[in-house]
Structure 1
Amino acid sequence: MASQSTLPGPALQASKNALSQALAENQAKEAENGGTNPEPGEIQEVDMQAQADNIRTVFSDAKNFNVKTPSTFAPAGQGWMEDIKRVISFDSVEEFWGLYNNIIPPSSLPQKANYYLFKDNIMPAWEDEANKNGGKWSIQLPKDKNRLGVDKMWLYTMLAAIGETFDPTLTSSDPDATPQSLITGVIVSTRPSFYRISIWTRVAPSGAADDEKLRERIEAIGKNFKTSVLGYPESAKLSGPLATEVEFMSHKDSEKKGKQAKKIIV
Structure 2
Amino acid sequence: MATSALPAAPAAASSAAVSALASETPASPSASSSGAAGGDAEVRTVLHDAQNFNVKHPLYNTWTLWFDNPSAKGTSAAKGGKDSWGEEMNKVVSFDSVEEFWGLYNNIIPPSELPQKANYYLFKEGIQPAWEDAANTNGGKWSIQLPREKSRADIDRLWLNTMLSAIGETLESPYDSSSPAASNTAEAITGIIMSARPNLYRIAIWTRTADESASGELDPALLNIGKHFKVGILGYQLNQQVGGGGMQSDVEFQSHKDSERKGKGRKFVV
> What is the total number of aligned residue pairs between the two structures?
192
Name which one, 1 or 2, has greater alpha-carbon Rg: 1
Identity, % of aligned pairs? 57
Amino acid at match of 2:202: R
Q: Which structure shows the higher helix fraction?
A: 1
| Correspondence 1:239 to 2:243 | yes
Q: Distance in 2 between matches of 1:235 and 1:180?
A: 26
1:185 to 188, 191, 202: 191
Comparing 109-118 with 176-185, which one deviates more in the overlay? 176-185
| Correspondence 1:158 to 2:163 | yes
Q: Distance in 2 between matches of 1:117 and 1:134?
A: 16
Q: Distance in 1 between matches of 2:232 and 2:252?
A: 16
Cα distance change, pair 207–101 in 1 and its aligned pair in 2 (3 A):
same
Q: Distance in 1 between matches of 2:183 and 2:195?
A: 34
Cα distance change, pair 177–104 in 1 and its aligned pair in 2 (3 A):
closer
- The 3-state SS of whatever aligns with 2:90 is coil
**Mapping 1:11-50, distance limit 5 Å:** none
Q: Distance in 1 between matches of 2:266 and 2:116?
A: 29
Cα distance change, pair 99–176 in 1 and its aligned pair in 2 (3 A):
closer
2:265 to 245, 261, 265: 261
Could you tell me whether the CA contact under 8 Å between 2:175 and 2:228 is conserved in 1?
Answer: no
Could you tell me whether the CA contact under 8 Å between 1:135 and 1:204 is conserved in 2?
Answer: yes
Cα distance change, pair 105–175 in 1 and its aligned pair in 2 (3 A):
closer
TM-score normalised over the length of structure 2: 0.65
Which structure 1 residue ranges, 5 or more long, are not aligned? 9-66, 68-76
For residues 69-114 of structure 1, give each alpha carbon's deviation from its aligned partner in whole angstroms, at most 9, with x where no partner exists.
xxxxxxxx97321211011000000000000001100000000000
For residues 37-87 of structure 1, give each alpha carbon's deviation from its aligned partner in whole angstroms, at most 9, with x where no partner exists.
xxxxxxxxxxxxxxxxxxxxxxxxxxxxxx9xxxxxxxxx97321211011
4+ residue runs over 3 A deviation: 5-8, 169-172, 174-179
Cα distance change, pair 114–182 in 1 and its aligned pair in 2 (3 A):
same
| Correspondence 1:196 to 2:195 | no
Could you tell me whether the CA contact under 8 Å between 2:165 and 2:171 is conserved in 1?
Answer: yes
Match of 1:15 in 2: none
Could you tell me whether the CA contact under 8 Å between 2:146 and 2:248 is conserved in 1?
Answer: yes
| Correspondence 1:217 to 2:221 | yes
Match of 2:172 in 1: 167
Could you tell me whether the CA contact under 8 Å between 2:111 and 2:155 is conserved in 1?
Answer: yes
CA apart distance, 1:6: 3.4
Amino acid at match of 1:180: A
- The 3-state SS of whatever aligns with 1:166 is helix
Could you tell me whether the CA contact under 8 Å between 1:107 and 1:147 is conserved in 2?
Answer: yes
1:136 to 134, 141, 147: 141
Could you tell me whether the CA contact under 8 Å between 1:165 and 1:171 is conserved in 2?
Answer: no
Match of 2:86 in 1: 81
Cα distance change, pair 102–261 in 1 and its aligned pair in 2 (3 A):
same
Could you tell me whether the CA contact under 8 Å between 1:247 and 1:265 is conserved in 2?
Answer: yes
TM-score normalised over the length of structure 1: 0.66
| Correspondence 1:226 to 2:225 | no
For residues 153-195 of structure 1, give each alpha carbon's deviation from its aligned partner in whole angstroms, at most 9, with x where no partner exists.
00000000001111124999x9994653200000000000000
1:107 to 101, 104, 112: 112
Amino acid at match of 1:160: S
